[in-house]
Amino acid sequence: MNKVWYLFKIQLMATGNINKMLHENDPKKKTKVLGMSFLFLLIGMMFVLMSATYNGILLFNLLEWNMESLYLPLVMTLTSMILFLTTIYKVNGVLFSFKDYDLLMSLPIKTSYIIASRIIWLYSMNFLFLAIIMIPAGVLYSIMVQASIGFWIKYIIGLLCVPFIPIILGAIIGTIITVIASKSKHTNIISIVLSMAVVVAIFASTGTIGQATESALENMDVVGQMLEGFIQKVYPFALMYGNGVCSNQIGGLLVFIVISLLSFGIFIVILGRYFKQIQTRLATSGTHTVYKLGELKGTSPLMALYKKELRRYFSSSLYVMNTAIGSVLLLIFAISLCFFDMSEIESALGVSNIGIYVGQFAPIVVAFFMVLTCTTASAISLEGKNLWILHSSPIPIEKIFISKLLIQLTITVPAILVSGIIMIFTFQLDLVQSILVFVIPLIYSTLIGMVGLSMNLKYPKLDWTSEVQVVKQGAPVMLTMVIGLLSIVIPVGLVMVLPGIAQNMRLIILTVLLIGLTLGSYKYLNTKGVAYFKALS
């Protein structure tokens, strides 16, 4: 077990700034690392606060409807769905195809130890996310219903088992997708398409929960049946867990724990049996490629850089899935609007012209999805040891930055156009709103791209061993996410509280404010950003 712990510790130390914080001797650098660590702590506290807020809103509504018994199962179901989806694209990089595979296999360490350390690492990442959501949920529930100490004993024991099944299912689906994709010469494209298809299929299969009819909204019993049916359909184990914790049905809780542990044990045994074969299959390149001599075409330096960045972007399914998810969710949301009958919703809620009211905030809704899409926050770090190629290229640094920003726009602009057109017709937007539903999200996309690139230049990580370290766990990614959310909340909040101003004028003021922020970010990128890039080695 000591060797497993050491392997896990190495992965843990390589995350964030832990290793630098412990071993950095330069006082200035150590102060900088400590500052970053403190900032990470603040970000973590902010996520916990956000989780508590959303959990509180959900619990309050369920209490109003006398459905508090569905609260914990519903939170567990939604959390497990997220764990399942994220595990799918963590598999290729955490369990398989990690950069230091050859180094680890050459060491006098059993393969089972390597597998165990990787699984523990995957479990730890998922459990951390789970804890941020479900511990505040448990605290709020225990306060609301005045739960006993027995509730917490059952809750925590069950909580430790919650990630097992999502990890197993996500790892199986992720491995199948990766293996299928590896049989083609277009491995990464197929992997991306299959992963996206799984995401869309999950949202489509669970979308019926949002199709509440007028009678359902008026009859809370029907709503309760719909919620319970949703949980039963998506993740029936959540009802076992919830009933065991909340209703003292210990048998159901024990069944859930036994199934989770037994399934996880079987998964580990099977993974250990076929680990090397899967890894070898994934590392094998295609042999059926036919090279054809064709005409060589010249292009501009910027276009050459853009094509290089585009190839790099689509060469990693993890990179695409983690950065394009905002655009994918926006498209799913926009297309789903086509299946809602606004007249039925207005009648059920007793509100007239709800489409016009909601349409006033359409640009903000689209912009929210844009701040979830940032391809630049890890673009510099992913260069890794190949960064010297860009350094030695006779190309202005500004063009290198522009090529990376163009990838951001390539991913977001199509989603903005499609969703904008749908919202114009769905919500019957006027001329000003129709223009701003494209302009505001486009500005946000550009702004968040510049912020992400600036953060990555300031806090790069070039010595990564797995893309997960920079794409999901890197400081620039987290900082960009926080700044992106603040860039939505603060400007929108300030503009929306202005008294005596029409809604369209508020959106115009917001647009002007965002243009100013974008120009400031552009200036920072071309001054400080250039200096940071030159200092990288």
Q: What would the DSSP string read from start to end of 18-44?
A: HHHHHH---HHHHHHHHHHHHHHHHHH
Lowest pLDDT segment from 29-43, 86-100, 339-353: 339-353
- Say if residues 198 and 173 touch (Cβ distance below 8 Å): yes
Residue 258 burial class via C-beta count within 10 angstroms: exposed 0-12, middle 13-18, buried 19 and up: exposed
User: End of a domain among 252, 284, 316?
Assistant: 284
- Give me the DSSP letters along 295-309: ------HHHHHHHHH
Boundaries of domain holding 193: 1-284
307 in the same domain as 177: no
Residue where the block lists tokens 């991306």 = 192
352 in the same domain as 217: no
Total domain count, the chain: 2
Q: For residue 223, is it within any domain? A: yes
- The pLDDT score that the predictor gives to residue 406 is 95
User: End of a domain among 256, 284, 312?
Assistant: 284
Distance between CA 199 and CA 319 in Å, rounded? 15
Q: What is the DSSP letter of 527?
A: I
Residue where the block lists tokens 């163009």 = 406
Q: For residue 459, is it within any domain? A: yes
Stretch 464-474: mean pLDDT: 79
pLDDT at 211 over 60: no
- Which is more confident, 255 or 35? 255
pTM (2 decimals)? 0.75
125 in the same domain as 87: yes
Which pLDDT band holds residue 43 (cuts at 50, 70, 90)?
confident
Supply 21's token pair. Answer: 């914080």
Supply 185's token pair. Answer: 């010469």
Across the chain, what does the average pLDDT equal? 81
Distance between CA 367 and CA 492 in Å, rounded? 11
463: three-class secondary structure by DSSP: coil
313 in the same domain as 274: no
> How would you classify residue 393: left for phi > 0, otherwise alpha for psi between -120 and 50, otherwise beta?
beta
Q: Which element (helix H / strand E) includes 131? A: helix 111-145
Q: What tens digit of pLDDT does each residue of 50-80 get? A: 888 888 888 887 887 788 788 888 889 888 8
Distance between CA 418 and CA 436 in Å, rounded? 14
152 in the same domain as 6: yes
User: End of a domain among 284, 318, 341?
Assistant: 284
- Say if residues 379 and 281 touch (Cβ distance below 8 Å): no
